[in-house]
Amino acid sequence: MTLLSRELFIKNRLGLHARAAIKLVELAQSFESSITISNGEKSATADSVMGLLMLESAQGQQICVHAEGNDAETALNAVSELIEAGFDEEN
């Protein structure tokens, strides 16, 4: 089983808020791999909107995305693209 991680910055103005968290959860649920987001000492699985909101990730903060499973590379790339694109929101 593959375990990968990548450091990213939250780019969108509102940070990881409810609408962005829902997009991330929907994307994460489309993969077999387990995806975890960490922000400093806080960590949450990417399939929990409440968990993601509890991270309190604001614009400009660095987070770490971890993916573990058979499609970890594909999952990590997809989640990274969503975050890098600012959750497809206008900044």
Query: And the tokens for 48?
Result: 């929990």
In this prediction, residue 1 has a pLDDT band, given cuts at 50, 70 and 90, of: confident
Q: What would the pLDDT profile of 43-74 be if each residue is shown by its tens digit?
A: 999 999 999 999 999 999 999 999 999 999 99
Q: Which pLDDT belongs to residue 91?
A: 56
What is the value of pTM for the model shown?
0.94
Other CB atoms within 10 Å distance of the CB of residue 91: 8
Q: What would the pLDDT profile of 34-45 be if each residue is shown by its tens digit?
A: 999 999 999 999
Query: And the tokens for 60?
Result: 């400009």
Q: What would the pLDDT profile of 8-24 be if each residue is shown by its tens digit?
A: 999 999 999 999 999 99
Strand order in the sheet with 62-69: 2-9, 62-69, 34-39, 42-45
Other CB atoms within 10 Å distance of the CB of residue 90: 6
Q: In this model, does residue 75 exceed pLDDT 70?
A: yes
Read out DSSP for 50-70?
HHHHHT-PPTT-EEEEEEEET
Domains of the chain: 2-86 (3.30.1340.10)
Q: In this model, does residue 90 exceed pLDDT 80?
A: no
Q: Which pLDDT belongs to residue 68?
A: 98
Which residue numbers are catalytic? 17
